[in-house]
Amino acid sequence: MTLPVLDLGDEPRLRGLKHGESLRSDIGHNIDIYLNRFQKLGFEPKLILTESEKWSPKLKAFDPEFYEEMEGVSEGSGFSLQEITMLNVRYELIISMFKKAEMSETMVGAHDGCTSFALLPERTKSGDVLLGQTWDWIPGVRTMISRVKRNGKTSFICHGEIGTIGGMQGINDSGIGVVINAMMSSEDGINLYQKPFRMRVRDILNSKHMHSAILAVSGSKRTVSMNFIIGHVDGEALDIEAAPHKEGYVYPTDGVLTHSNHFCGIDVESEVVRIWPNTVYRNVRLDRLFRHNQQIDENAIKSALSDHFGYPHSICAHLDADEPETMQLETRNAIIISLKQAKLSVTNGQPCCNKFQEVSFAA
C-alpha cells in the first residue's frame, strides 16, 4: 500500500486545511496512538494536552507560518489545536515531561531509532548525492508525503507523520536534502520550549544554501538531542550532532557517511546505549555494506537498508516480542533521497518486504 501524497501550495492555512480534511481519520489514529503511549508511560491525556498547550505560543513566535499551517490542520480535521500541537512536539514534550517529573530519560521507552546515510558523487554510480535512512518507531504510526510548491520561497518534498507540519526527511528545489536520527543526552529537557526538531527540518527545507541550512540546527539551543545529515546537490554532505547546548560534526570518509543513534563527533554524557545497544553496530554495519561496492546504486542501497544482521534489532528493524510494549519498535519507513534527480523514494513498512514509492517535483 502506498503512502498518501498531498500536493500543497503557497498559503499555509490552505495547506493545513487540505491536510486536515484529506487525512482526518489518519490524524485521529495517530493522536490515539500517542495518547495511549503517553498513558502507558505514566502521563494522563489531560496532563499531556495541558503541556501541549504551553507549546503553542512558543511555536507561533518561532515561525508564524508553521503555526498557521498547524491551525489549518486543526480546523480541517476537527481535532483541537492542543492535539495537533502534541503531534508536532511529541518528542520534545515527552522528554520534558520526564525531566519535570525527575524521572530518568531511560524510562521513557523507545524513541525513534534510525540508521541514516549520505553518499557523495565519487561513490555513487550515477554521480549523484544520495541521502536516506530507515525510520524505526511505534507500530501503526501513519505517515505521508507532502509536495509543496511555493512562489518566492523554496518548494520541497518531505516525508512525515500524518498530522505534523515540518516533516522528518526531505529535499527542496535548491538541491538541499535532510534526514534525521533521534539521540539522547543527560541534558535533554533542560532547555524548555525551544524550537522543535520538525521546525528545524522545515527551516532546512526553507534554505536556499548550505549556510542557512546549517544555521537552522546550530543557531539556537535545543530542548532535545537530535542528529541531522544535510546534503547538497553540488556534492557535499555533513552530519550535525545537536545536543541541547553543544554541536558536533561528522564528515564523509571516501564519500560515505553513516549514522545511528549515538554520539560520534561530540563529547557529551549519552544515555542511548542503555536502551538502544544496537546503535553501536548499525551505523558501522551500514558503512561496511556500502564499502562492498565501488559504485553504489539505488539497488545496493535498498539491499543495505534491508539488512538483518542482529535481527530483530537490525538496520531493517522488526518487533521483538520479548520486549515490553513501550520498548517495541519496527522500521516504519525506509527513505532514499536523490538530490540530482530531485526525488524522494519511501516504503510503507520494512524495506525487506515493501516496494519504494517515488515522488518527484513533476506531478
- Domains along the sequence of the chain with CATH: 11-106 (1.10.439), 110-360 (3.60.60.10)
Average pLDDT of the chain, as a whole number: 93
pLDDT score at 112:
59
Which residues of the chain are under the pLDDT cut of 70? Answer: 102-112, 363
CA distances from 112 to 214, 225, 305, 330 (A): 22, 12, 16, 9
Considering the entire predicted model, what is its pTM?
0.96
Helix axis angle, 298-305 to 279-291, nearest 10°:
150
pLDDT score at 325:
85
> Is the backbone peptide bond immediately before 312 cis, with ω within 30 degrees of 0?
yes
CA distance 50 to 221: 24
pLDDT score at 214:
98
pLDDT score at 96:
81
Residue 153 · residue 206 · CB < 8 Å: yes
- Model confidence pLDDT, tens digit, residues 145-199: 999 999 999 999 999 999 999 899 999 999 999 999 999 888 898 899 999 999 9
pLDDT score at 347:
98
CA–CA–CA angle 221, 226, 229 (5° rounding): 110
In terms of C-beta density within 10 A (0-12 exposed, 13-18 middle, 19 or more buried), how is residue 326 classed? middle
Nearest residue to 339 via CA among 178, 208, 225, 198:
178
Helix axis angle, 45-62 to 64-77, nearest 10°:
140
